[in-house]
A and B are shown apart, each in its own frame.
Chain A
């Protein structure tokens, strides 16, 4: 039987599909040098990250900054020295101040001085 044009066409298309399959399965492998060149380009073009600020501060600069700078630290140092000096010398005038605020044992207040109604309560008990 003589092959028609349509049969020919079908055979051509089937052969072509088979060719596509064959070629798809046989992917060309690029030369190693190409991979190398591409990788080199990648490293050359790679964006560099901005250097991160170190979380550790050097020295005591950060303490100074946190306290408000040298003027504050000078004031603190003066107050500290004054406190130490007062502790060692115990000036007499201070005793006067302390005595005024905190009376001595013989002039101490009694309970009745602080709570007047307490005396009245005691008297009531006697009656």
Chain B
């Protein structure tokens, strides 16, 4: 994939954004390749719906392009700003789902794919994603940012606009809930006897 090309560049997101704001099309290309997968991945895990995740990622990037000429250097990390946009867009969509009575999360949980038919790794990922959908929105966002995206608690606090203590509480409760949800599936997921990965 083209990400390998981007991996060779050491230019910061912010420098690229400033370049884009000055009319550099190649900076736009690098930012697209570098940031879109992360935003899409996060939105997909939070929303559990590919089409919606695409819309959210595109909308977040569009907002980035629009703010580029006004971007204040050193004020915020580009990724933190973007994750915050994605988190808010996801929250809006989840709220709308609840209001309209449509819940893709339930659908995902009900239609969990047959483990036997898939590779074990894929089954594990599907099981986790299905379990994630059962968490309350904020817990899910915090758990995904902490344990899958690998962000630090202070950064998550900035993204979700809450305190670091609140992040710790959300992730701890989320993790407990997930472990409970998945406890019945340890055997199917290949974790029963050795207790390890």
Tell me how far the C-beta of A67 lies from the nearest C-beta in chain B, rounded to whole angstroms: 38
- List residues of chain A with CB within 8 A of the CB of B21: 47
Instruction: Tell me, rounded to whole Å, the shortest Cβ–Cβ distance linking A115 to chain B.
Output: 76
A15 adjacent to B150 (CB under 8 Å): no
Q: Are A23 and B125 in contact (CB under 8 A)?
A: yes
Pick from A23, A38, A39, A46: contact of B129, CB under 8 Å? A23
Count contacts on A: residues with CB < 8 A to the other chain.
37
Chain B positions within 8 Å of A47 at CB level? 21-23, 68-69
What are the interface flags for B181-196 relative to A under an 8 Å C-beta threshold, 1 for contact and 0 otherwise? 0110010010100011
Q: Does B173 sit at the interface, judged by CB under 8 A?
A: no
- Is A30 a contact of B40 with CB atoms below 8 Å? yes
Interface size on B, residues (CB 8 A): 48
Instruction: Decide if A106 is an interface residue (CB 8 Å cutoff).
Output: no
- Interface stretch (choices A3-11, A68-76, A89-97, A117-125): A3-11
Please tell me if the beta carbons of B68 and A12 are within 8 angstroms of each other in the complex. no
CB distance from A19 to the nearest CB of B (A): 4
- Which residues in B have their C-beta under 8 angstroms from that of A46? 20, 23, 25, 28, 65
B72 to chain A, nearest CB (A): 16
| CB contact list, A1-50 vs B, under 8 A | 8-31, 34-35, 37-39, 41-43, 45-49
29 contacts between A and B (CB under 8 A): A8-B183, A10-B195, A12-B186, A13-B175, A13-B179, A15-B182, A15-B183, A15-B191, A15-B195, A16-B175, A18-B196, A18-B197, A19-B128, A19-B182, A21-B197, A23-B148, A25-B121, A28-B37, A29-B1, A29-B37, A34-B57, A38-B58, A41-B61, A41-B62, A42-B25, A46-B25, A46-B28, A47-B23, A47-B69
